[in-house]
Amino acid sequence: MIEYLPQRIFADTEREPFAGPDHPIRKATREVAFGPAGWTPERAAKVAQLFNAMAPEWHTRGTRDRMQPLVDGLERGGVDGECCVELGSGTGFGTELLQGRFRYILAVDLAIEMLRLAPAEWGTRLLADAARLPVRDGVVDALVHVNAFLFPAEAERVIAPGGALVWVSTLGDQTPIYLSAEEVASALPGSWRGVASEAGWGTWCVLRRSAAAG
């Protein structure tokens, strides 16, 4: 079950239409989330190539309106703890906002050029495929996705009892890598519940396993 909270933070400027349901990355997002064969070495290589090419201008995307969903989701979703793994961390503007909530932050990206441009003081940077994280079972208090692909089996494996999956779409349903809160919950193994809302230009949800939800 997902509880929808009222929107509390509104964007300062109007959001421009960006990526609709026919966007090719939208299709890939669904294939990866709902099909075990959706993530292949070939697809991983193409995604890495795409984001390596965008790395030099990526810093221009970290605007206040774009990052409000992460700020709001962490606060109203009650997300904090010892260990946070951020997937698709890019050049670090999401990582910066995680500071102070966690003792240890692992910022993971598939694109080496993104990590090269991320400030070293914001968490530990790691070049890795999020489909196969070098992380022990059940140790992650928060697995944070900001416009990042969902790998349901891996999320279920690494998230600690009582831990949270944070799903942020900075442009809402115009985000290329987008799933609704219900789709995220249905893709995850087992039963999950949580809260969701809108903030700035985007949407967010925070999900926990039903047996561990308070």
Per-residue confidence at 19, pLDDT binned at 50, 70, 90? confident
What is the rounded CA–CA span in Å between residue 52 and residue 48? 6
**Band of residue 198 on the pLDDT scale cut at 50, 70, 90:** very high
Q: What is the number of alpha carbons within 13 Å of residue 71 lying toward its C-beta?
A: 17
Strand 102-109 versus strand 2-4 pairing type: unpaired
Residue whose pair of structure tokens reads 């003081």 in the numeric block: 121
**Which residue carries 């939800």 as its tokens?**
213
What's the pLDDT score for residue 22? 82
Characterize 45-83 residue by residue with b for buried, 16 or more Cβ atoms within 10 angstroms of its Cβ, and e for exposed. Answer: eebbeebbeebeebeeebeebbbbbbbbbbebbebbbeb
Would you call 46 helix, strand, or coil by DSSP? helix
Q: Kindly state the tokens that stand for 138.
A: 């059940």
pLDDT digits (tens, 9 = 90+) for 36-89: 899 999 999 999 999 999 999 887 776 778 899 999 999 999 999 999 999 999
Q: What is the pLDDT of residue 101?
A: 94
pTM over 0.85: yes
pLDDT recorded at residue 212: 46
Picking from 172, 208, 211, 209, the residue whose alpha carbon sits closest to that of residue 77 is 208
